[in-house]
Amino acid sequence: MLKYDFHDSIPYFVFTAAHAIEKAMGAALEGHGITFRQCQMLGMLAAHGSLSQAQVAEMMGVEPSSVARLVDRMTRDGWIERRPDPHDRRKYQLFATDRAEPIWEGVQEVAATVRNTALEGLDEGDVPELKRMLRHLRNNLTDDPGRYPDTPSPDSALSDDCSALSDDRAPAAASASR
């Protein structure tokens, strides 16, 4: 009989924590008319300005066909637009539209609440250390660690809220009132 205590392994804890964050965000976003994957895409576009569908698929870890359906839906809703890639006429770049702004503002409030709940009981100093350790694990397991932006631009401070934890938490009182 095979023996291994999977439930005490690092991969188990990383996977279940990521799954719990995704599930909590999905549930919290239900009343806001946006899905977790749509939130992820807006966060990526907030962090990068523009991306190709292939880049989005790679960053999300999903098949390009899944991203194509997501892009079609978000384009139809007016949240993103496709523009020809100036360097390759065969490709398109994705951009968030002005219509996505109010949606993104609502996402930021939801994400702050979920983030605060997830980080409850941790000291302020624990969060940067947690991020450092997770970054280290990820970089050990990827061929191109540079493809992951570890520091979002200042104007997209919540861009990692749909996929990771951030150490710039909103005050609990402000989150609770929203």
Distance CA 19, CA 167 (A): 19
pLDDT digits (tens, 9 = 90+) for 83-119: 999 999 889 999 999 999 999 999 999 999 999 999 9
Q: What is the dihedral of CA 96, 41, 86, 77, to 10 degrees?
A: -50
Tell me the per-residue pLDDT of 130-144, one tens digit each, with 9 for 90 and over: 999 999 998 898 887
- In the chain, pLDDT over 70 holds for what percent of residues? 81
pLDDT at 30 over 80: yes
Q: Which two tokens stand for residue 168?
A: 């710039």
Give the integer Cα–Cα distance in Å for 33 and 106. 10
Asked if 28 and 110 touch (Cβ cutoff 8 Å), the reply is yes
Domain covering 10-137 in this structure, CATH number: 1.10.10.10
pTM tops 0.95: no
What CA–CA distance (Å, rounded) separates 176 from 159? 21
Residue 24 in tokens: 């909590």
Burial of 157 (0-12, 13-18, 19+ CB in 10 A): middle
**Ranges of each domain in the chain:** 10-137
Instruction: Check residues 145 and 111 and name the one with the higher pLDDT.
Output: 111
* Beta strand spans in the chain (E): 50-51, 80-85, 88-96
Total number of residues shown for the chain: 178
Three-state DSSP class for 81?
strand
pLDDT category at 166 given cuts 50, 70, 90 is very low
In this structure, the number of other CB atoms found within 10 A of the CB of residue 59 comes to 20
